Amino acid sequence: MEYLSTRDKTLRRSAAQAITMGLSRDGGLFTPVSFPSLSALEVETLRGMSYPHRAAYIMGKFLEQFRPEELEEFARRAYGPEKFDGPAAAPLRQIDHNTWCLELWHGPTSAFKDMALQMLPQLLSASLRLTGEKKTACILVATSGDTGKAAMEGFAGVEQTKILVFYPENGVSEIQKLQMVTQEGDNVGVCAVKGNFDDAQNGVKRIFSDESMRETLAQRGFFLSSANSINWGRILPQVVYYISAYCDLLNTKAIKLGQPVNFCVPTGNFGNILACYYAKRMGLPVGKLICASNCNDVLTDFIRTGVYDRNRPFHTTMSPSMDILISSNLERLLFDMSGGKDELVREYMDQLAQAGRYEISPGIKKRMQEVFYGGFCSEEETASTIAMMYRYGHLIDPHTAVAAKVLTDYRHETGDKTPAIFVSTASPYKFCDSVLSSIGEAPVENSVDRIGQMAGITGVAAPVRLAALKGKVPRFGDVTEKEGMEEKVLQFLK
């Protein structure tokens, strides 16, 4: 399978090259030239497999360059018992007769980012071998909270790599910050940025496209790569859990093979829901893809009107991983929905860069609306959904609550009774403050002590690694203006 740039179809690379580079030189995102199909017979076979076997099988369809035994080994390491807290890496939990919750936070950092970031470093290492690259890969990450920690956890100690994470100074939760600044490993670094997530992400993109920076680093023996969801090696492992969830649902006998299922995904950078769309493109019987946003509702408006307009106030919410006004992976969707019109994608992305706004053609809009529904959830609704779900015995985090609420709204609005899965992207213990307040409890003063407090009140066990944050000493305290990010990279890669 070859990969092409969304901004220039003639630019083609192997999977190993695409994963090594992260972002294409022209600013485009690598996308497979076609989608391998997944037959009913294959789904039938996958039903009987464990998660690591499913992952190796599905990823193998996109990665012919990699040996099957190698992918099996990667999957076993990524999703095995040393990393995940149960035998099912991505368990389905039944909510009512027609609704399930796909829990993606049973990995080492308690956020769904682990699903991809336990795999990406292994894919990258193998890609460096396959391409004969001798320089050290420096992974630059802009994080809205969860990616940074999950990426450091995945890359710590991985040979021929270094990783530097930028996070918005006031845009992540205290637990998220503590997780990052206490990360161990000689090849990791963390720095706060005075600005929001988009500032951090734009800074990273700027550094990536800076020729002189590239030359300087090359002389020092480094090249830049990305662990953000712009990297194909991030998206591909995420395709797996949608197919896996479908298999698990089949195994409960709640659906028959071929019957469609709707997915509702709490969305920020559009990576997670894009992976669901790709599973659908492979032939998985997915009905509607429901895109759930918090009050940063730029995607809701886009799906409803066809106008993407980032010129609007930015809100800091209790679901910070979705506080995003520029969803990078939308570019991959536009490329696919336009039938591969790279010049059109380039035009939209230019307009977005210059005016912060673009309007898609009526044809693309129609195709998009056939597949996607967009909805958003206010802060009050997020809190009341957490409270309501808790009364029914489910402790969920604010991101998950946004998805649960938007799924309910979708069903009320459309009357669609298709079985549905909403995606749970973080452990409630990453956001104790908001969850405790939502269920009517006053959080104690110290953010780490809230973990024990919440476990005491709810009787739900806290993830072991989060509980272990108590008493840990920060290793990093760097802060930079957004204009100073280049300098931080140069210091880190001395």
Ligand X SMILES: *Cc1c(COP(=O)(O)O)cnc(C)c1O
Q: Are 226 and 372 in contact (CB under 8 A)?
A: no
Q: Which range of residues in 63-71, 255-263, 268-276, 297-305 is near ligand X by CB under 6 A?
A: 268-276
Q: Which range of residues in 109-117, 166-174, 186-194, 377-385 is near ligand X by CB under 6 A?
A: 109-117
Q: Are 144 and 320 in contact (CB under 8 A)?
A: yes
Please, what is the minimum distance in Å from the beta carbon of residue 112 to ligand X? Answer: 6
Cα gap 327→310, rounded to integer Å: 10
Q: For the window 298-337, what string marks contact with ligand X as x by the rule CB under 6 A?
A: -----------------------xx---------------
Residues in the chain: 494
Alpha helix positions (H), 297-397: 298-305, 330-337, 342-355, 362-371, 379-391
399 binds ligand X (CB under 6 A): yes
* Active-site position among 113, 149, 405, 488: 113
Please, what is the minimum distance in Å from the beta carbon of residue 83 to ligand X? Answer: 17
Cα gap 321→176, rounded to integer Å: 11
* 222 versus 277: smaller Cβ distance to ligand X: 277
β-bridge mates for residue 194, sequence order? 481
Cα gap 145→197, rounded to integer Å: 9
Q: How far is residue 66 CA from its own chain's centroid?
A: 23
SS3 189: strand
**140-179 residues near ligand X, rule: CB under 6 A:** 146
429 binds ligand X (CB under 6 A): no
Please, what is the minimum distance in Å from the beta carbon of residue 274 to ligand X? Answer: 8
Classify 76 in phi/psi space as left (phi over 0), alpha (psi -120 to 50) or beta: alpha
229 binds ligand X (CB under 6 A): yes
C-alpha Rg value of the chain to the nearest Å: 21
294 binds ligand X (CB under 6 A): no
* 160 versus 202: smaller Cβ distance to ligand X: 202
Please, what is the minimum distance in Å from the beta carbon of residue 431 to ligand X? Answer: 9
Q: Are 67 and 75 in contact (CB under 8 A)?
A: no
* 234 versus 346: smaller Cβ distance to ligand X: 234
Task: Say whether 405 is catalytic.
Answer: no
225 binds ligand X (CB under 6 A): no
* 213 versus 460: smaller Cβ distance to ligand X: 460
For the record, the structure tokens of 429 come out as: 């213990």
CA-based nearest residue to 292, from 312, 267, 314? 267
CA-based nearest residue to 405, from 431, 438, 433? 438
**6-65 residues near ligand X, rule: CB under 6 A:** none
Please, what is the minimum distance in Å from the beta carbon of residue 425 to ligand X? Answer: 3
113 binds ligand X (CB under 6 A): yes
Residues that bind ligand X (CB under 6 A): 111-113, 146, 229, 266-272, 321-322, 399, 425-426
For the annotated catalytic residues, the residue numbers are 113
